[in-house]
Structure 1
């Protein structure tokens, strides 16, 4: 397929700049693939679509405040450093993106405050660099300093200023393992009350961890989708998660619901020889677009995604291209709130 086949128009005012309050009060579009129907509900209605023994998989990655601002040694020029991933805790090496890239070269010293500095070690891409932090203290002290100085990395299409409350707004209730520079946004809609209701019905809520990288916002730069390459992202699937998922798959009666596209990428990347879910840790660069045969995912809870994005392509592979593009037209007509802080859908 071609990138241009995933275009759609939407009014700019439908871009949600804040989450619903409370979070589970957002709208929920219920999309039935078999019947080719759409129903309009509220996220608080979600438990109606689950039965005892069903499995819901969530991503428990935790967003850290990845955007740092500082100055370059000697020139005192203002610079921005966007932390992508930690390469080596012992040597404090990180992959980052920098701005302005043309002024930040190997050997440059960067200053963030009196305690935290860094040296540029390598060029990785046009904007990418490897840096080594210089900091007196333990690694936990370093992470605390980054949290103190860093800014929440809101998606680039949210144009408002970052606010202190965004540290909580852009974090799911499942967040546990630090490592993401973007939230797995389908999880933003859940509340303690909703989880209690699901568990009371006998639903198994189990985690995976996939640390979302900045590549989630990277546009597809080619028209021919076979030529696009995804950034690799690290994931972990616990043994208990695999056991519960595989039990549901073998039952033929219970469903496996992925909360978000990051969960889908994870579970569809880790298959045993008998096409069951395999526990363990690895990296995935899986790019899912139509047509694609899903082995583990029965149902998907997700947000409404940007035109021509890899996320929309995955959703179209799961729900069916023609049907899902019609669904998106309906979402715009019905004025659903779009993207990271927007409304949700469940595709079943």
Structure 2
């Protein structure tokens, strides 16, 4: 049994980055390559990546998922969007819908908002009706839900950044390549990349691919069980194009930019395994990697491509609650670009699964060399070899 206390370390509050660096890309980079650690600037990343590598980026876009409404009595109600329910569970479709949609939400001050009652926004024609304990239906006129959120919503900074949202966060808590609305937390490994760094990588011959995982608030959910395997993992929507999947077969080294990209790629592999076993539902449960028998990577990817050919689809959509912790064998990813994570979190477990016990050495080096931690903090390149 894996014990959670073995994946804790002391993280002083002063080391948690409360703001991004003044300039995007102006952060530190800890390079871990086959056990050897170097301390670099993030802009040195280009020199650390092989020209025959393919980097996979998560192009999800953070939505202004926090909505504040006030009752006639003065009570403030906060609605935190978690995942769409109607008219579809597909983020892209719901964000472009007009007139009405329903979401699963966290509701602050919920005791003061009765079921089946409505609240209206004070400045625009926008009504929120509490239709369930954690369910809210929104109605409005004349624009898309994405446009409504841009007007009234706030960017959902992580709970450990204990300050009000500032104007700068609208841009800096978003990657330069963000494209598809749906995340309620940023894929933070990508926050360091600038257009210039991306162009330098391409100029070197490095292939750039994009996939989508809409990061949910569950990424911040603490582990409360002593036995790590009993932790209930959150479910997230993933999308990946046929061309990106084809390029997995042609890549000599696959590097995931962020834990969300890594979870997507490893989930794709297990979908291939499920297809091999006669299961065609792209929903990767947290225990699937620990109960299914592995097959060769190429076989799994080809199973997925054959499925897409049969269904005549160019983009694959699925759901994953994959849980990567020590004992997991990686099938797709050879490298990882990632920030430094919270002690005892699912993300620390992912790092420990990827580089083994050296995770302790990496984090101690980062602490000893004044690295800034968590979402707005510094970065690492992990190449276990």
Same-fold call, TM > 0.5? yes
Deviates more, 1:282-291 or 1:44-53: 44-53
Q: In structure 2, what is the Cα distance between the partners aligned to 1:334 and 1:213?
A: 31
- In structure 1, list runs of 5 or more residues that go unmatched: 124-128, 249-253
**Cα distance per residue 1:86-113 (max 9 Å; x no partner):** 2224651111110112223321212223
| Contact persistence 1:68–1:112 (CA under 8 A) | no
Q: Secondary structure at the match of 1:92?
A: strand
Q: Secondary structure at the match of 2:297?
A: coil
| Contact persistence 1:204–1:244 (CA under 8 A) | no
What's 1:217 paired with?
Answer: 220
Q: In structure 2, what is the Cα distance between the partners aligned to 1:6 and 1:211?
A: 26
| Alignment equivalent of 2:84, drawn from 83, 86, 102 | 86
- In structure 2, list runs of 5 or more residues that go unmatched: 87-93, 274-295, 306-315
Deviates more, 1:146-155 or 1:184-193: 146-155
What's 1:170 paired with?
Answer: 173
Count of equivalent residues? 332
1:172 is displaced (CA, Å) by 0.4
TM-score by length of 1: 0.92
Mark the CA change 1:76 to 1:161 in structure 2 (over 3 Å): closer, same or farther.
Answer: closer
| Alignment equivalent of 1:311, drawn from 347, 351, 376 | 347
| Contact persistence 2:339–2:378 (CA under 8 A) | yes
**Cα distance per residue 1:199-229 (max 9 Å; x no partner):** 0011111001000010011111211111112
What's 2:49 paired with?
Answer: 50
What's 1:151 paired with?
Answer: 154
1:76 is displaced (CA, Å) by 4.0
Q: In structure 2, what is the Cα distance between the partners aligned to 1:267 and 1:231?
A: 17
| Contact persistence 2:11–2:343 (CA under 8 A) | no
1:164 is displaced (CA, Å) by 1.2
What's 2:107 paired with?
Answer: 98
Q: In structure 1, what is the Cα distance between the partners aligned to 2:120 and 2:343?
A: 38
| Alignment equivalent of 1:324, drawn from 339, 344, 359 | 359
1:69 is displaced (CA, Å) by 0.6
Are 2:193 and 1:190 aligned? yes
Which consecutive aligned stretches of 4+ in structure 1 deviate over 4 angstroms post-superposition? none
What's 2:375 paired with?
Answer: 340
Are 2:5 and 1:4 aligned? yes
| Contact persistence 2:65–2:155 (CA under 8 A) | yes
Q: Secondary structure at the match of 1:23?
A: coil
RMSD in angstroms over aligned alpha carbons? 1.4
| Contact persistence 1:47–1:198 (CA under 8 A) | yes
| Contact persistence 1:229–1:287 (CA under 8 A) | no
What's 2:260 paired with?
Answer: 262
